[in-house]
Amino acid sequence: MADAANSGGLPFMKMHGAGNDFVIFDSRGRPPVTTAALAAALGDRHRGVGFDQLAEIRDAEGAAYALDFWNSDGSRAGACGNASRCVAAHVMTALGRDSVTFTTERGTLAAMRRPDGLVTVNMGDPILDWRGVPLAEEAQLLHLPIAGDPAAVGMGNPHCVFFVANAEAVDLPREGAAMERHPLFPNATNVEYASVTGPDRLRMRVWERGAGITLACGSGACATAVAAHLRGLTGRRVTLDLDGGTLEVDWREDGVWMAGPTAHVFDGVLTPDFLARHR
């Protein structure tokens, strides 16, 4: 790995939050390196490394760092809650701190490490305006004119949330893929299916725009918790059980906070040959 780095290779980290997995580049002190072609090639789990999203850390003024996000198909993502928590965990450990601020397309956000070891991030206020989600035309966000009566919430990414009797019974590959490109969502959408399993507890499964089925989605958990509260199904603090683990969402006055586990799996170096072929 050292030889590859010295000869022009590109170091990266592999991390995950509740099974939602990421490749992370640290580009502080140098120009950003990610392109759509590189993200798509690297996201291939057979010919690359594989990930749900890629996050690139950049220098920022007024915050510890900035973050940019890509999906595994090479498209850009406006937000990624679990990647934000993973990067925050990495930076806080390096700095010896338990809090950090960073910037994304959503503005300046805050993250903290709780006494129980979980990392929580403020994902900002939910977007509850049809233009901001965005939708193709004006519609009632809590009851979209779509079969199944879903709700729409923006969390930096658009989300279409279905509340169903049993999330386990949903044909996620078929239903999620079809709904991602629904014409009401001009920029496509993440799709969540959730069922109430207890007081302020939901079972959620997700199809992510540009990535497909993932084990967890932080912005999706936030959107689902917001929609559930606005529908009168839960309070403002919600526990969500996803395929990859459990996330906690707390919709406060200063934004939607999302907490969960993080894991730094390994470090690697992309070879100069791989970079030359996919930039």
Question: Known catalytic residue: 86?
Answer: no
Q: Are strands 119-122 and 151-154 parallel, antiparallel or unpaired?
A: unpaired
Contact 84, 109 (CB under 8 A): yes
- Show the beta-strand stretches assigned E in the chain: 10-17, 20-26, 53-58, 65-71, 76-77, 99-104, 107-113, 119-122, 151-154, 158-163, 190-198, 201-208, 212-214, 237-242, 245-252, 255-260, 263-270
- Please identify which of the residues 86, 160, 217, 222 carries the catalytic annotation: 217
Structure tokens at 192: 């969540």
Q: What are phi and psi of 236, to 5 degrees?
A: -85, -10
- Please identify which of the residues 80, 86, 160, 222 carries the catalytic annotation: 80
Question: Known catalytic residue: 217?
Answer: yes
Our measurement of the distance from residue 37's CA atom to the centroid of its chain's CA atoms, rounded to an integer in Å, reads 20
Active site residues: 80, 217
